Amino acid sequence: MTEIVSSFADDLSLLPASRQAQLIRDRQVSPVEVMDAVLFRIEAQEPVLHAFCIVAGEQARGAAREAEAAVMRGDPLGALHGVPISIKDLICTADMPTVSGSRAYEGFVPEDDDVCVERVRRAGAIVIGKTNTPEFGYAGAGKNAVFPTTANPWNPAMTSGGSSAGSAAAVASGMGSLTIGSDGGGSIRGPASFCGLFGLKPSFGRVPAWPGCRDPRHPGVSSWESVEHLGPLTRTVEDAALLMSVIAGPDARDWHSLPAGDVDWLAAPAAPLGPLRIAYTPDFGFSVVDPEVRAITAAAAQVFASDLGCVVVEDTPPLQKDMFDLFLTVIMRDSDLRGLRALADRGLIHLPDLLMMLERDWSAQDFTDAAMRRQAVCNRLARFMQGYDLLLTPTVSSAAFPVEHFNPVSVAGMPAEQANPSPFTYPFNWTGQPAASVPAGFTAAGLPVGLQIVGRHVADATVLAAAAAFEQARPWAHLWPQLVRAAGAVRV
C-alpha cells in the first residue's frame, strides 16, 4: 500500500509556483536555488518515473543565473520570474526537440515556440524540459517507441495516464510545480485524476494553439484541431489560475482563439461560490465505474451540498452508449491521414490502436455523419446545462492501471471493451466547455481518484471558483507520494 506523506513545507522544489515566484520577487530565495532544488529532485526521481524525454539542465541553470541577475538589478519581473516549468512534448519549443513520442521526429527542433511557450518565457518562467507523451498523443498512457514508459509517482507499477503522462508525473513528484499539457479527449484531466493533481481543460480557444497542431509542414502533428485544448496541471488551483493569467488570451495565428477580458484569472479562485445548482452523475447512465471510484466521487460531490451551500441533484445528460466510436471518428477527421499513413508505410508508426485506425477505410460520409452526431451531443449538453451551473462526474472510471498497458484490462471485474469505461471527458472536448479534475480521495491501495467539474460554455471562472472552494473544504496539496520522501529534500 502506498504511504501518503505530508508536505515538506520548506523544500523549494515542493513549494507551489505562486510561493516560489513570491519568494524570488522578495529576494528571499534565488532563482538558482529554486532551479537547483528542482533539478536535484529530477536527478533523484527521473530514473524511476521517466516523466521527461528531455531535461535541459544546463540551459535551465544558465537561465536561472540570468533571472537572478535581473532580480539583483531591480529589473521589472514577470509573473513567473525564475519559476521552473515543463512543457508537454506535443507543444513546440524552438530551443529543444519536440519529438511527439514519434520515431519520425527524433531530434526534431521546431522553428517556433508555441504561443503558450512564448508567453511563459516572456513572464519569466524557465523551461526545464519536455515531458513524455504517447505517439502523437493518441493513447491514454505514456508509452512510445522512443523513450522509456512514464510511471505513476504514487505507485511506479501503475500508469500516470495520458497523453499528458510525463507532465502529470513531473508535477505530482515535485519535478517542477508548473507544466502545460494538452487535452483532446481527457489528456489533462485523466492524468490529473491518476496522479492526484488539479488539471484544467479551459474553454476551447482560451489558450491559443500554434504551431503545434496547426502546421501542415510536419505530417502527423497537424491533428485534433477542433478538439485540442491547452492548459495547466498543477498541485493547487491558485497555481493553475496564475499560469492561465499568463497563457490565456487571443493570438492572431490561431483563428480559434477567444477574446480576453471575461475572466479575471487571478481573482476567480477567491470568488464567492454562491448557491449554485449542480448536477452529479456517477456513470452517465451506462458506464461501468469501479466501486471505490464511485463511492469516492459521490462523497466528493456531496461536499458541494454539505460544506459549500450548493444544491446537488443526481441527474445525467441524455447521452448514448456508442459515443466512443464517434470520438475516434472525430479524431481521425481532425487528423492528417495522408501524412500519418505515409509514416506508417515507412514503419514509423508503432501504436497499435493508431495503426488500426489508419487501416480503416474512412469515407467522407463517415466524417460528415460524425460531424452531425457531434453537433447533436453538443445540443443535448447545452440544453442540459441550462438547468445547472455545473456538472460533476468521476473523471475516470477507475484508478490508475498497470504501467505496461495502454488501457485498463477490466473495470469492476468487467472486461474493458464491454464496460464502456471513462466516457466522462471527451464529450466536453466536442462542446469546448471548461472542465477540470480535482483530487477527490484515495483508493484503499493509495491511488488517487479525481472528480470532474464541468462548467457552462466559457464559464471558466465558475469552474475555478468551484474547484478552489472544494480545495479549501477538502485540501490535498499537502499530500505527497512516498517516493518524494525517499528522494530527500532541498530546504529553504
pLDDT per position as a tens digit, 380-393: 999 999 999 999 99
Look at residue 275 in the predicted model and tell me its pLDDT. Answer: 93
Rounded CA-CA distance 463/320 in Å is: 25
Look at residue 125 in the predicted model and tell me its pLDDT. Answer: 99
Number of domains in the chain: 1
Question: What residues have CB less than 8 Å from 470, skipping those under 6 apart?
Answer: 300, 303, 304, 308, 438, 451, 453
Rounded CA-CA distance 42/46 in Å is: 5
Host domain of residue 66? 4-486
Side-chain half-sphere of 265: how many Cα atoms within 13 Å? 23
Position 121 in a domain: yes
Q: Is the pLDDT of residue 209 over 90?
A: yes
| Secondary structure element (H or E) that encloses residue 394, with its range | strand 390-394
Look at residue 487 in the predicted model and tell me its pLDDT. Answer: 74
Cell 466516457: give the residue. Answer: 423
Q: What is the signed CA dihedral for 39, 174, 17, 476, rounded to 10 degrees?
A: -170
Catalytic one of 86, 102, 167, 187? 187
Q: Which of 194, 193, 211, 206 is nearest to 241 (CA)?
A: 206
Confidence category of residue 289, pLDDT binned at 50, 70, 90 = very high
Question: Using alpha carbons only, how large is the chain's radius of gyration in Å?
Answer: 21
Catalytic one of 163, 173, 203, 422? 163
Catalytic one of 30, 88, 130, 222? 88
Tell how strand 311-314 and strand 277-280 pair up.
parallel
CATH of the domain at 366: 3.90.1300.10
Position 491 in a domain: no
Look at residue 491 in the predicted model and tell me its pLDDT. Answer: 44
Q: Is the pLDDT of residue 323 over 90?
A: yes
Q: Is the pLDDT of residue 454 over 60?
A: yes
Q: Is the pLDDT of residue 7 over 60?
A: no
Asked if 422 is an active-site residue, the reply is no
- Output helix, strand, coil percentages for the chain, rounded to the nearest 5: 40, 15, 45
Total number of residues shown for the chain: 492
Look at residue 2 in the predicted model and tell me its pLDDT. Answer: 44
Q: Which of 328, 348, 321 is nearest to 139 (CA)?
A: 328
What average pLDDT does this structure show over 349-360? 96
SS3 47: helix
Position 174 in a domain: yes
In the 8-state DSSP scheme, what is residue 104?
A: G
- The tens digit of pLDDT for each residue in 228-253 reads 999 999 999 999 999 999 999 999 99
Look at residue 8 in the predicted model and tell me its pLDDT. Answer: 58
Position 492 in a domain: no
Asked if 187 is an active-site residue, the reply is yes
Q: What is the mean pLDDT of the chain?
A: 95
Rounded CA-CA distance 404/245 in Å is: 37
Q: Is the pLDDT of residue 222 over 70?
A: no
- The tens digit of pLDDT for each residue in 39-63 reads 999 999 999 999 999 999 999 999 9
Q: Is the pLDDT of residue 462 over 60?
A: yes
Q: Tell me if 213 sits within 8 A of 224, measured CB to CB.
A: yes
Look at residue 217 in the predicted model and tell me its pLDDT. Answer: 64
Question: What are residue 171's phi and psi, to 5 degrees?
Answer: -70, -35
Cell numbers for 444? 484503499
Position 197 in a domain: yes
Cell 540570468: give the residue. Answer: 66
SS3 178: strand
Asked if 397 is an active-site residue, the reply is no
Rounded CA-CA distance 375/362 in Å is: 20
